[in-house]
Structure 1
């Protein structure tokens, strides 16, 4: 199964990262979540330690480009097949670094991809 990691998951129900967890689960997609605060969203445990994740196919980003910098190596070490840069997370430097490491970088909206059957 292809697992998606929601990176920057918020426990606040009005945040897009929170909504996307519900939508991913609703579409039968194996979902994991990483955030600054541990908790639970729609049955998914939000973890605060990246070392707890394995076999991640897709990472969908919900943190701004400045905050992404501290996670470059950690995300590359997870070796996902693709990283989705949602609106507001676009980062050409990181996108280039990912692609140089054989990871597909995609600028898109996960919610739109799910709604249109393109995920």
Structure 2
């Protein structure tokens, strides 16, 4: 399976990013995570540094548009196939930047995509 990077990851089990990590791993999708604090969800370590992950297929965002700004260059540098903007993260400025860099974007819910086999 192709690798997914969850940005805005949390160890809080009530957060959607946490639930997404669990569902991704439940589907045996290789998952890496980036959050404000280090931690772990299942077998996925949450890093708090922007690491140069290799071969990231999908990035799923759990950051509000204002907080995304500091990640623009980082995300583009990883050259993912697509970026998913989950509810509340919609950012048309960033969508435009991604398009200019030949990166697909999708305004969708990772949890819905997974539960409907559209991921």
What TM-score, normalized to structure 1? 0.97
Unaligned runs of 5+ in 2: none
- For 1:36-115, what aligned pairs fall within 5 Å after superposition? 36-115=36-115
Report the CA distance between 1:52 and its aligned residue: 4.3
- 1:17 partner SS: helix
- 1:59 partner SS: strand
Unaligned runs of 5+ in 1: none
- 1:20 partner SS: helix
Report the CA distance between 1:49 and its aligned residue: 1.5
What TM-score, normalized to structure 2? 0.97
Report the CA distance between 1:51 and its aligned residue: 2.1
Number of aligned pairs? 119
Report the Cα distance in structure 2 between the residues aligned to 1:36 and 1:61, rounded to whole angstroms.
Answer: 13
Q: Does 1:20 align with 2:20?
A: yes
The range that moved more, 42-51 or 62-71, is 42-51
After superposition, the CA RMSD in angstroms is 0.8
Q: Hey, which bits of structure 1, 4+ residues long, moved more than 2 A? A: none
